Amino acid sequence: MPHTIDTAPEGPDAATEEGWVELGSGDELRRLLGEPWPIVIEKVHDRLTDLDLDIIARSPFCLLATSDSRGNCDVSPRGDAPGFTHVVDPGTLALPDRPGNRRGDSFHNMLDNPHAGLLYLVPGGTEVLRVNGRTRVLTDAPFFEAMTLKGQRPTLALVLEIDEIYLHCPASLRRSGLWDPQSWPTP
C-alpha cells in the first residue's frame, strides 16, 4: 500500500534555481566541511552503554525514520511514558505499537527496507541519542507482556537490531531554544 501521493512538481523552475550552486560529490563535501574531529568518530558504538540506557529510560519520545525500497522517506513520532522503549539486550530495542491512525507507513517501509533510525529526546535535557539499525516487525514475542499498557498488549512491535549508536552534540537544542518557553511562538 503506497503511503505517498506523488503530486509534487519535478523541482523548482529555472527562474527559482538561478544562482544556485549544487554540491557535486562526497569529495567536494569533505573539502568544504573538513575532516570530522576524532572524538566524533570514536564515540560511535554498537552496544548500549549505561548513558544510552539512562537516556532511553528517561525519554517519553523518539522519532522513527524509515524509507521504502524506492527511497521515499517517512519520519514518525513515537511516544509513551518515559521508558516506553523495551531493551531486549545491549544490541536490540523494541518499540510497542500503540493505537493510532492505522496508516502503518513506517511498518510498510520496514517490510520493504529494514534500515531505520531512532532519535531520542528527553524534555528539558540536552541529550540527542541517535540509534540506527535493522528492523523487524513482530506480532508476538515473550517481551510483549512487558510492553502492556493499561491492559492493552501491543498487536505489533518494531524490533531494531543496533548497528550504530551516537550521542549528538546538544548545540542544535541550545540554538533552537526547544526547551525554553520564552522562545516558543505565541499560539
pLDDT in tens, 104-141: 999 999 999 999 999 999 999 999 999 999 999 999 99
Q: What whole-number distance in Å separates Cα of residue 8 and Cα of residue 76?
A: 21
- pLDDT of 9 reads 56
- Whole-number Å distance between alpha carbons of 48 and 67: 24
Low-confidence ranges of the chain (pLDDT < 50): 2
> Can you tell me the distance from the alpha carbon of 110 to that of 116, in angstroms, rounded to the nearest whole number?
8
pLDDT of residue 84: 94
Superfamily of domain 47-167: Electron Transport, Fmn-binding Protein; Chain A (2.30.110.10)
CB 91 within 8 A of CB 83: no
Hunting for cell 523518539 — which residue is that?
62
Instruction: Give the largest CA-CA distance in the chain.
Output: 59
pLDDT in the model for residue 18: 83
Nearest residue to 59 via CA among 106, 128, 107, 133: 128
Among the listed residues 125, 40, 42, 130, the one whose alpha carbon sits nearest the alpha carbon of residue 93: 130
| pLDDT value of position 6 | 54
Angle at Cα 155 formed by Cα 150 and Cα 159, nearest 5°?
Answer: 105
In 3-state terms the chain splits into helix, strand, coil percentages (rounded to 5) of 25, 30, 45
What pLDDT sits at residue 90?
Answer: 97
Coil, helix or strand at residue 108: helix
> Model's pTM, two decimal places?
0.87
Element (H, E) at 107: helix 105-112
